[in-house]
Amino acid sequence: MIEARALSKRFGALDAVTQATFTARDGQITGLLGPNGAGKSTCLRMLYGVLAPDSGSACIDGIDIRGETSAARAHLGVLPHAAGLYNNLTARENITYFGSLHGMHPERLRERTAGLARSLGMESFLERRVKGFSQGQRIKVALARALVHDPKNLILDEPTNGLDVMAIRNLREILLALRDQGRCILFSSHVMQEVAALCDRVVIIGRGRVLADDTPQSIREGSSAATLEEAFLRVLGDTEGVG
Amino acid sequence: MRALLIVFVKEFLENLRDRRTLVSALLFGPLFGPLLFGAMVSRMLNQSMVESDEPLHLTVAGADHAPGLIRYLESQDVKLVFAALSEGDARTAVQSGREQVILIVPVDYAARFTAALPAPLLLVADSADSQTRKVADRARQLLTAYGSGIAQLRLQVRGVSPLLAVPVAVNDIDVATPTGRAVVVLGFMTYFVLFAMLMGGLYLAIDSTAGERERGSLEALLSLPVARGSLVGGKILATCAYMCASLAISLTAFVCVFRFVPLERLGMSANLGVGTALEFFAICVPFVPLGAALMAFVASFTRSYREAQTYLTSVLLVPTLPIAFASIYSLKTRSSLMFIPSLSQHLLMTSVLKDEPIAAADVLVSAGSSLCIAMMLFVMTAKHWRREVMLG
């Protein structure tokens, strides 16, 4: 479970995130939806603890990320916006590096990598150097790297950026499988269709504020819109003047 | 500590696989200095030896007016070429480079010489040309010697002791030992050694900091449950490993190169064998963590690989400043200077070359101060890595 409790963050004169409160539950995919610059990445960065909130707190499975950073991070996998890999290392070495830094035992690390390679379909390129990988292959390696320590919770920042249709479809299936394992998945996106196709719950964010937090269906009904896209525009329209 | 080792191994391995970087860091950097240096020194030595052995060539115009002078010059093994040239012709010939130096004996030379008045001689040379200047200097020396010989004879003939014309006698006493003279030539070497050492770690220092940020792997790394100090420490340690390698390669290259440089033929002994190289290594090693931490520190503030390269190129010049300072003020090894990194290493290495005794305390202070500054830079870098601006 990932909880944002009244998170606020200012950068100079800019209120990047204001009093953001929401919860991503286990066994669910929660989508953080908002236009570019709405504060999605800042919000996620506070949740995985690389940014300190000015006020409020973030908890992973009830553990405060600022208070007990290491303990909280042991339960959390992160795929940041820029999920760069080390080109001179093989896919396996990239994954192993992160696993060992999580303090995993080599034996367990090998088993876990083999399991991930199977479930993510990356056995054919596991021993190859990452240089020259396609975007789809890179995202799989980055995802395996985030999942290597078998975290209960997963945060992904715009994971579908730069992926082609096939790779997006592939990633969607992977995320659904992870959800069905009972994991808590929180991902951000500015693409409506993605969120509609995938999420059990949607948090709409605009100008750093949470504008809606509900199931896609309820959001649609609440704003009496035919599609989620329309509902999204209506919800945002109040504050952003989008239209 | 465990995380630090994991980071170290990964950075070491990753850099090892980058062939182009490796070649430039471990071959070009450390070998460029010794080879350039060996070529320079041996050419310099060959040239100066050839010059002093070769007979002096001199073109003389109006030789008929001074038969005594001509006999003297021939007795001094000067190869004379006689030509009929006016002063103007001589100027053009030297200016255009056809002739190096021309001695002109004017028409009134004989008359004035006989009358015991100063007899004029014209020496045409181009002082801006270092080659012909040396020839002119040698010619001038011979002419002065001839003049003072004549003067002594004249005084004797008039019943005056020639010694009256020599009120003071200056004797040069050159205290430079053979090794000492070589040090002037070899002084540059210490800079090449420090430079090669820094070059060895430059790419890794950039790649593991600014490079990590630029390729977007930094944020994932920072979201791991690992202390930032361990990350920075592992990266600096890996940089140190490559710097030590390039230091060793560069010193080995110097030892090899000086086997072939004919320093002994000039009566200099370049005291550079395997033992000296090991002493150099021991003196320089404490500078390695300082250099690595300094490069990591500077590169951590930059946003891209390119920017880091720009800044670090200036950092590479920092160790030259104390060395340049040392040669301008001709500083000698002194305990109070041992606190200054790079200068202390330079002075100690120079002392080793000169075969001077070295105080153990000086070596310890030099190493200690370098390591202290390295530690400070490491702490500052780790502190910077804990700040949010690292995310970019």
In chain A, CATH 3.40.50.300 covers 1-75+155-243
Binary contact (A82, B7; C-beta < 8 A): no
Write out chain B residues lying below 8 Å of A81, CB-based. Answer: 216, 219
Q: Is the pLDDT of residue B96 over 50?
A: yes
Condensed to tens digits (0 to 9), the pLDDT of residues B336-384 reads 888 989 889 988 988 887 778 888 999 999 999 999 999 999 999 999 9
DSSP-based three-state secondary structure for B122: strand
Residue A241's pLDDT band, with cuts at 50, 70 and 90, is very low
Mean pLDDT of B91-104: 87
CB A81, CB A157: distance < 8 Å: yes
Cross-strand partners of B124: B102
Which H helix or E strand runs over B103?
strand B102-104
Residue B179 scores a pLDDT above 60: no
- A80 and B216: CB-CB below 8 Å? yes
Cα gap A3→A26, rounded to integer Å: 11
Q: Which residue has the tokens 């993510």?
A: A120
Mean pLDDT over B209-228 rounds to 92
What pLDDT, on a 0 to 100 scale, did the predictor assign at position B53? 66
**Which percentage of chain B shows pLDDT scores above 90?**
36
| Interface subset of B 83-112, CB within 8 angstroms of A | none
Residue indicated by tokens 């001589």: B90
Architecture of domain A1-75+155-243: 3-Layer(aba) Sandwich (3.40)
Helix boundaries (H) for B54-162: 67-75, 87-95, 109-114, 130-157
Separation CA A131–CA A179 (nearest Å): 31
**Inter-chain CB proximity B224 and A85 less than 8 Å:** no
Chain B residues 16-55 within an 8 A CB cutoff of chain A? 17-18
How distant is the Cα of A235 from the closest Cα of chain B, in angstroms?
Answer: 31
Residue B185: per-residue pLDDT: 61
**Contact call for B215 and A87, based on CB within 8 A:** yes
Work out the pLDDT band at A237, boundaries 50, 70, 90.
confident
Instruction: Please report the pLDDT score of residue B51 as a whole number.
Output: 59
B253-272 pLDDT, tens digit each: 888 887 777 666 555 555 67
CB-based contact B95:B161 (threshold 8 Å) = no
Pairing of strands B79-83, B57-61: parallel
Nearest to A101 among B14, B217, B226 (CB): B226
Q: Summarize pLDDT for A175-184 with one digit per residue, the tens.
A: 999 999 999 9
pLDDT at A242 over 60: no
- Residues A98, B224: C-beta atoms closer than 8 Å: yes
HSE (side-chain half, CA atoms, 13 Å) at B302: 23
Query: Which domains does chain B possess?
Result: 2-47+179-391 (no CATH), 55-165 (3.40.190)
Q: What is the mean pLDDT of chain A?
A: 90
B180 or B249, which is more confident?
A: B249
Q: Which residues are CB-contacts of B187 (< 8 A; sequence separation ≥ 6)?
A: B327, B350
pLDDT, mean of residues B149-155? 89
Q: Quick one: average pLDDT of B65-91?
A: 88
* Alpha carbons B8 and A228: distance in angstroms, whole number: 49
Lowest mean pLDDT among A107-111, A225-229, B95-99, B160-164: A225-229
User: Is A212 in contact with A188 (CB distance < 8 Å)?
Assistant: no
- Reported pTM: 0.80
Averaged pLDDT for residues B145-165: 88
Residue with the bigger pLDDT between B166 and A28: it is A28
Residue A129 is classified by DSSP as B
Kindly report the nearest CA distance between residue A157 and chain B, in angstroms. Answer: 11
Phi, psi torsion values for A78, nearest 5 degrees: -130, 130
pLDDT value at residue A139: 92
- Mutation pick from A45, A81, A92, A100 vs chain B, by most beta carbons of B within 10 Å, is A100
DSSP element (H, E) containing A155 = strand A153-157
Tell me the chain A residues in contact with residue B224 when contact means C-beta distances shorter than 8 Å: 73, 98, 101-102
Q: How far is B217 from chain A (nearest CA, A)?
A: 4
Tokens of B108: 């009134």
Tens digits of per-residue pLDDT, B21-67? Answer: 888 888 888 888 788 877 777 776 666 655 566 788 889 998 888 88
pLDDT above 70 coverage of chain B, percent: 91
Per-residue model confidence (pLDDT) at position A91: 96
